[in-house]
Structure 1
């Protein structure tokens, strides 16, 4: 049975969108040459009488909205079936005009976005009920966004749909003077000020003003204000409305009742996010739009069709099965369940892995020595007596047993103060001991606290100790104090994942993807990025992260990568790493000049044309005659919600199943990389799919193959036994970029360390 045979259609799927019917008549318009100044002038000065819409071939249409509209040219008629993008724009603007009208006449919400149309309700729908006793300015509101998209429906061709997304926004409406009077501390927090929008049709918005360093005489003194005033009146400043700040204000106002109040609000938010509730809210929003008399143009009404769900037209749907993993080079042991097979037969490279007896240095606070030693023992030897209600034993044999290692040698290095310098000094003591004994460490274990994540990297115990170990080619594994206080089963699950990541950091290969034979050679690249900032305001420095390179089996080519470089230097660096990766693999596998080669690129952002051109030039220089490319944007930010209406029970009712995929068009697919089975906490809500968008310069265009590959690579992380939210190509690349950015902020780091032996292992997991 082929991979394609195993992909089958699923019913009962539902998308948060409604069909837009093509108008029965053509659209009146005046078509004139496009010019940016002319377009903006028409948009700003039409006073709601006409709408400019850009057309292909450097033209634009002025569409009349009222009977008395005077057009700047002869009136013509445009068929929207020949131009779905014209219809999409007109639908978006019609919805915006209606929302603006309702906001002005009824005052039930305010309009906060135009592209796409977005409103914020002025009530909280019971998310913060009155019986909790909180002031009305401390609440949660619903933000509703409508977007238009073009999808391919079977037998219907390009079709415009209107999507609806709803999310929650935290509101802290009291100004900083009122908060100070209520006893809320502001020092160290970021505050905002109201600012007018360039578009007069939109309501004002809060913009970050800076971080408070002092409060005196009703005036806030700010740092990180990026050219804005360094002092502002407390009456004009508002605490940044984050969840953490919201909880802090609740704690200050309610004292002993705070924990119960926050738990109640969290529960109501969780209920608000469940699938059936999401579906009903979206249906009500579309009923509201249907109930209004909306016009696309003069004399042309907007007509909405049915929801994209059961009983209505629906894009082609598929189900990608969980990939089969290989646990030995000969292919004798394969399974979709990684943990079960590892415990049964061991890792893929069990016959060739060198470091069988590990030497481990543990750095911990002296006050945490006893608990840390217990958890390290459980990490190494397992927790055989801890199992789930269904009999699952997540960490039965520990790192040593699961990966067929010998008893480890462990030394502790305690610190009396939880500071960065103390942790770095402990790591240096460990390295000195190893040098004296001429016995290098295989692994450093760091006992950490989650609160340290808020510290600057330059003073963080975690980052400073990690940098000290890594520059001596010793990978590290962090064990959080908070994890040590979890329930036994939760702790066992956490240690199981940590053991998997640790084995990979040591250079081990737990498993690979089992793939079908192919006439094509293939490499898969992950293009990750990270933005480095010294503060909240300002553009910051964009750092493009290391490019990861994988074979089609998911084998990580560790020594083929770029450095973390400024964005403008990235195409040249990518070209060089591409040459090295292809040359190495071509030589190792004896590729011939006429062999078919496929290069697949995954990116969290749309691939720039300069990057695509750099790849094409690199391949041309290599002399490969038959090469195809696929540039795939893996987007997490999009307007789509996917529900499975057949899943009406369980912890995540109506949530999609992992691997469910929707074909939105020739170059766009939705894929659920995690599903309802992976939802662990009540507050998570339904899992969100990723949107896969194929770049127009791609020469390999099999979206079914590419989507299935992304789904498989999301189940191939050596950081966790469960599916990940993104393919490892991007998870690994972004993690490398993030960790290098953190390491470079520490005094203990040496940039030359990136060329060391450790960087040829997945140290970042």
Structure 2
């Protein structure tokens, strides 16, 4: 990796400072169970702070009149107890905001709502002459959290982070909404529940979807157990943005479009890098002026936000991961860091062994759209060499070669099968004709391209032409590539990029390998697993007990090996099903790659949710059963919900194509990597160039968290590999927002969930030949 010192990098965190010589008394006693902690806390919540650490419970007095609680009392220097400082800082802030009457919605992280008039963003969007009820709000909220920053060769530093977000609030009950003339049928509702902590605002619990209104009761048809009905006075509309705009539209009528447009501008401004940083700096400045204390006798102060240029001695280790080298031939001599250029110059990695050289593609399209689709297919196959753009300092034709020449094919055989109308049954008839044609001529289809419509996305199960077509051909072990008619008829300057991505995905779906990553693993076998799961349910609150585990497997160079899945089982049986699935997956890979008993093996697992100990144990059990003791493990949780932001104050952003304004201002470069500790790091998968809309604001990095049972703990190596895998998607030439281990597992889960709504679908079909292709792209 290379050092990156040119830009002014700043974090949304400040160091917490305490007098290093200050001592504090701490009580300690053995930890027995959760009930013990609850009893201690409920009886002493205003006078003591409690923290569990390992097999002990510690207490610190928050009142000068009380002693710590514990079987032994010890006196320590507070500066030598960074974990206690981190917890006490949040407790101090919580007490401060409670004293000044701010609404507190969460403890850890600490979330508060601003009460400033100008921080009610919805009210600021409404003209003075327009009246909007006060129970409808979009308020600025602040999220605080603490971490211990471990700097090599220095004492640990406690840091306080602050993030600014918005909180939608619909504070009127459903009775008031009905009285105001707002339709609420078909929408989800919540009920208020008191928290055990009186300092916290009541929590809202989602209870169901409104089916009908019967007098003073709401009848719910997708509901939590015990909530078939709920009184209208106890129910509150779920404060999702679409429900908020629904209320605004009915209350303001003709004024609503103007208000929503103004609101969109204000929200876009708040999410931008400069404005977000301004809010964060302002709240830290406010807190520095207050005399905040960890305990009645121990004060703390807040430093300046951590900046690479201003407090480098405290700044986390920061680097930019370079783009990976992509390989376009088995010898490894044809390489490039730009996938599109490398593919056009060298051809695909598998060109010399890809079969068939003349693939057969069936096209399913509506009879009324045949002419447009034929023109599209011609451009898809032959390319658009006359459509060029200015890019990376020179003129180029992004889709100049076309599918045949770009992927070094001899030819492509195309056969159209026309659909009479846009109904799903008509699509199935065309599918049957395609399979009949294949059987008559004893020629298998290598790919099916199906023309769809954008409106199909709103259709469910057997009514969705795309899903029934996908289901039909997957059961025949044939991959399917859809293309919407709305994209087919787009302007050529837009169509070239659509064709670019469709051609890449189509080649991969047929079993081709466009490129691989250049990787020099020092061990015999390195495998990277993506673990995902899919809950089988047709509703948000209905039974979700049946779970399917999904595993994607890659070699260290990004070569896709296979997908496996567990059976759909009740949630309590999921760990056993996961173990069986992993056992089968690893055994298959072991046989395919001819592992020897003494070979060194490294298994790296990527997961988009926290690893449970039972999952880690299951993985280790599999390897022990296979007789491989020389195995290293790394379990990485990719956390997207965290309080950290990274700002590059020198980055002015890139110009948005539609608005001509700059988007992604202050975004750090893609590949920015900051080490917070041995177990945590921040990695930016998005830079300014990957921000799609002005309203998306500054992209947030992903937090990489290494499980403590990992035996391979080189976080820099693991972060670089994860970043390389994000540049390795064959779904699009653009870099992915996550490693393909997680992205592919998520795509599979989404498709399996959608296909489960189609009659006759058997998810076991992906265990066949199709499971070794990228059928889900």
- Alignment of structure 1 residues 159-308 onto 2, 5 Å: 159-180=157-178, 184-217=182-215, 219-253=217-251, 258-308=256-306
RMSD: 2.7
CA distance in 1, matches of 2:43, 2:490: 61
Post-superposition shift, 1:508? 0.7
| Residue 17 (structure 1) aligns with | 13
SS of residue paired to 1:578: helix
Partner residue in 2 for 1:567: 574
Structure 2: how far apart are the matches of 1:539 and 1:26?
53
How far apart, CA to CA, are the structure 2 residues paired with 1:654 and 1:559? 39
Partner of 1:409: 414
Against the structure 1 CA distance between its residues 755 and 53, is the aligned structure 2 distance closer, same or farther, given a 3 Å change threshold?
closer
Deviations 1:136-175 (A, max 9, x none): 4444222211111112224423221111122122334454
More divergent stretch after superposition (654-663 vs 405-414): 405-414
Which has the higher mean CA deviation after the structures are superposed, 84-93 or 239-248?
239-248
SS of the equivalent of 2:632 reads strand
Secondary structure of 1:614's counterpart equals: helix
Aligned 8 A contact 1:529 1:544 in 2: yes
1:339 aligned residue: 340
For residues 200 and 617 of structure 1, the distance between their equivalents in structure 2, rounded to whole angstroms, comes to 45
Offset at residue 11 of structure 1 (A) = 5.3
Structure 2: how far apart are the matches of 1:538 and 1:80? 49
- 1:540 matched residue in structure 2: 544
- What residue number does 2:771 align with? 759
Deviations 1:613-651 (A, max 9, x none): 333333334344533222222222222111122324543
Q: Is 1:442–2:446 an aligned residue pair?
A: yes
Instruction: Give the distance between the partners of 1:210 and 1:683, measured in 2 at CA.
Output: 31
Residue from 98, 111, 119 that aligns with 1:125:
119
What is the distance in 2 between the residues matched to 1:241 and 1:482? 33
Aligned equivalent of 1:106: none
* Alignment correspondent of 2:742: 730
Alpha-carbon separation, structure 2, partners of 1:287 and 1:167: 18
Following superposition, the deviation at residue 557 of structure 1 comes to: 0.8
**TM-fit CA distance, 1:82:** 3.6
Tell me: CA distance 1:315–1:752, structure 2 relative to 1, closer, same or farther (3 Å).
closer
Q: Relative to structure 2, which stretch is displaced further, 259-268 or 322-331?
A: 259-268
Residues 220 and 232, structure 1, Cα contact 8 Å, conserved in 2:
yes
- Provide, for residues 704-738 of structure 1, a one-character-per-residue CA deviation record: whole Å limited to 9, x for no partner: 11111111111001111111111111111222223
Change (3 A) 1:268 1:389: farther
Task: Please tell me whether the aligned partners of residues 468 and 748 of structure 1 are also in contact (alpha carbons under 8 angstroms).
Answer: no
- Residue pair 2:92, 2:294 contacting (<8 A) in 1 also: yes
Q: Does 1:654 align with 2:666?
A: yes
Q: What TM-score results when the alignment is normalised by the length of structure 1?
A: 0.91
Is contact 2:531-2:606 (8 Å) kept? yes
CA distance in 2, matches of 1:473, 1:323: 33
Name the structure 1 match of 2:138: 140
- Structure 1 match to 2:555: 551
Check whether the contact 2:534–2:752 (CA below 8 A) recurs between aligned residues.
no
1:210 to 1:67, Cα distance in 2 relative to 1, 3 A: same
Residue number in structure 1 paired with 2:360: 359
SS at match of 2:633: strand
Question: Corresponding residue for 1:509?
Answer: 513
**Structure 2, unpaired ranges of 5+:** 655-662
Say yes or no: does 1:31 pair with 2:28: yes
The aligned residue for residue 610 of structure 2 is: 606
**Matched residue SS, 2:322:** coil
Q: Deviations for 1:652-699, whole angstroms, at most 9, x for unmatched residues?
A: 221011111001111211111221221231112112211112222222
Structure 1 counterpart SS, 2:705: strand
8 Å CA contact retained: 1:672, 1:689: yes
The partner residue of 1:429 within 411, 433, 438 is 433
Measured in 2, the distance between the counterparts of 1:257 and 1:427 equals 49
Change (3 A) 1:292 1:680: same
Residue 437 of structure 2 aligns to a residue in which SS?
helix
Number of equivalent positions = 750
Aligned equivalents of 1:255, 1:200: Cα separation in 2:
39
Paired with 1:679 and 1:670, the residues of 2 have a C-alpha distance of 18
Taking the TM superposition and a 5 Å limit, the aligned residue runs for 1:52-63 are 52-56=50-54, 58-63=55-60
CA distance in 2, matches of 1:200, 1:603: 36
| Structure 1 match to 2:310 | 311
Q: 1:457 aligns with which of 458, 461, 464?
A: 461
Q: What does residue 658 of structure 2 align with?
A: none
Q: 1:243 to 1:749 in 2, by over 3 A?
A: same
Determine the C-alpha separation between the residues in 1 that align with 2:591 and 2:79.
48
| Greater alpha carbon shift after TM alignment, 538-547 vs 45-54 | 538-547
How far apart, CA to CA, are the structure 2 residues paired with 1:187 and 1:426? 39
Contact 1:413 1:430 in 2 (8 A): no
CA distance, structure 2, for counterparts of residue 660 and residue 761 of structure 1: 32
For residues 411 and 658 of structure 1, what CA distance do their matches in structure 2 show?
Answer: 43
> Deviation of residue 63 (structure 1)?
1.0
TM-score (structure 2 length as normaliser)? 0.90
Instruction: Give the distance between the partners of 1:417 and 1:759, measured in 2 at CA.
Output: 29
C-alpha distance 759-649 of structure 1, shift in aligned 2 (>3 A): closer
Question: d(CA) in 2 for partners of 1:395 and 1:12?
Answer: 38
